[in-house]
Amino acid sequence: MLVQDPVLHREWIAVCRSSDVQDKPVQVTLMGERIVVFRTETGIHAFKDLCIHRGAALSLGCVRNGNLVCPYHAWEYDPSGACVKIPQLPETQAIPTKAKAIAYGCRERYGFVWVNLGGEDAGMFSLPEFDDPAFRNVIWGPQEVNAKPPRVIENFLDVGHLAVVHEGYLGVETHREIGDYRVHKTEDGCIRSDEIAIFQPDPDGTGQAKHVYYTYEVLRPLSVKFTKRDEENGNLMSILLTVLPLTETKSVAFGVMSFNYETDLTDEEMVKFQDMIFAQDKPIVENQKPEDLPLDLQIELSLKSDRMSIAYRQYLTELGVTHGTA
Ligand code: FES
Ligand code: CO
């Protein structure tokens, strides 16, 4: 079961946008688990969305004096998960040590709230564009999809479909052939492709069809990125895709689009375009069989142009992600 995968349980997973969490607690789902995310003066926190007293959802409560207050009998939990107040208990009586919420790792980065269910931290990738003033960053998502995350990720890394599924936008029917390219393991354990030339109908908004160069990267099991380079003007555009396993069969995609050049498009227009592209991929991804990514490379028929997705499958295998149909 993907939702029980021990490797994914040590990963930082984006559960919502930072802007979604204001002064009220928010309920999110991560790998079938209900989680409450809340903000206090000391930062952002995530607990299992369950009060140990009578099983109420803490997300229906509120934040008061830096503590999360249960909606049912107003027990108060501090950000570490320790219960610090039980209103029904005489003041002379100590709070039972078992009165605790289950706290998970939680942090904010790149416009999202990230939760780590495991005690161990498997590390987090960096997105240099986000902190670089030369880039404009636009947050994209959430977009729900009825497919497992590795299928969604692999679709994003798939260069061969651009001139088919996104014909007229990201590719041209007369230029479907993919030149040879290699993939490499980087020093920090990521995977990066060579630049791949893709002929696009209007990559820079001037109406001029030309080649642009895509570099694909696998940063973590559920976080990948591509960078598009236009050699004529030095324009760089990258998209980070990170996928939340919601339940065993549902995923949520989030992204960061980064540009080092000016465009006339507003953030909303950028998001709308990306939504349209994602909507083109959705029916393909939601109907692929098997639902799990086959980690046995003999199961599907791969071409040289599928090198990036083969490398992604191998990467998952090496990390020991066990959900695949092996
Ligand atoms: Fe939470 Fe009673 S169920 S305080
Ligand atoms: Co696509």
- Judged by DSSP in three states, 276 sits in helix
Q: Are 256 and 240 in contact (CB under 8 A)?
A: yes
Within its chain, how far is the Cα of 57 from the centroid?
25
Q: Are 45 and 103 in contact (CB under 8 A)?
A: yes
How many angstroms does the Cα of residue 86 sit away from the middle of ligand 1? Answer: 9
Placement of tokens 């990738």 in the chain: 125
**Overall average pLDDT of the 180-196 stretch:** 93
Placement of tokens 């930082």 in the chain: 12
Residue 120 has pLDDT above 80, yes or no: no
Listed in sequence order, the residues at least 6 apart from 93 whose beta carbon sits closer than 8 Å to its beta carbon are none
Mutate to test the pocket of ligand 1, among 59, 68, 75 (most ligand atoms within 8 A of CB): 75
73 Cβ closer than 6 Å to some ligand 1 atom: yes
pLDDT of residue 158: 95
Which amino acid residue places its CA nearest to atom 3 of ligand 1? Answer: 54
Closest-lying ligand to the alpha carbon of 69? 1
Instruction: Please give the helix or strand (H or E) that residue 314 lies within, else none.
Output: helix 307-319
Higher pLDDT, 44 or 1: 44
51 Cβ closer than 6 Å to some ligand 1 atom: yes
Residue 242 has pLDDT above 60, yes or no: yes
Q: Are 189 and 182 in contact (CB under 8 A)?
A: no
213 Cβ closer than 6 Å to some ligand 1 atom: no
pTM score of the predicted model: 0.95
54 Cβ closer than 6 Å to some ligand 1 atom: yes
Residue 326 has pLDDT above 60, yes or no: no
Mutate to test the pocket of ligand 1, among 36, 48, 68, 70 (most ligand atoms within 8 A of CB): 70
How many angstroms does the Cα of residue 10 sit away from the middle of ligand 2? Answer: 28
Share of the chain above pLDDT 70, in %: 98
Mutate to test the pocket of ligand 1, among 50, 51, 59, 64 (most ligand atoms within 8 A of CB): 51
304 Cβ closer than 6 Å to some ligand 1 atom: no
53 Cβ closer than 6 Å to some ligand 1 atom: yes
Closest ligand 1 atom, CA of 56?
Answer: 3
Across the strands, what pairs with 223?
220, 242
60 Cβ closer than 6 Å to some ligand 1 atom: no
Could you give the C-alpha distances from 258 to 139, 213, 218, 242, 314, in angstroms and in order? 9, 16, 17, 14, 28
89 Cβ closer than 6 Å to some ligand 1 atom: no
ipTM surpassing 0.85: yes
Closest-lying ligand to the alpha carbon of 285? 2
How many angstroms does the Cα of residue 75 sit away from the middle of ligand 2? Answer: 48
Q: Are 1 and 323 in contact (CB under 8 A)?
A: yes
Which amino acid residue places its CA nearest to atom 4 of ligand 1? Answer: 73
**Overall average pLDDT of the 115-130 stretch:** 90
Residue 55 has pLDDT above 50, yes or no: yes
Q: Are 246 and 256 in contact (CB under 8 A)?
A: no
pLDDT of residue 323: 55
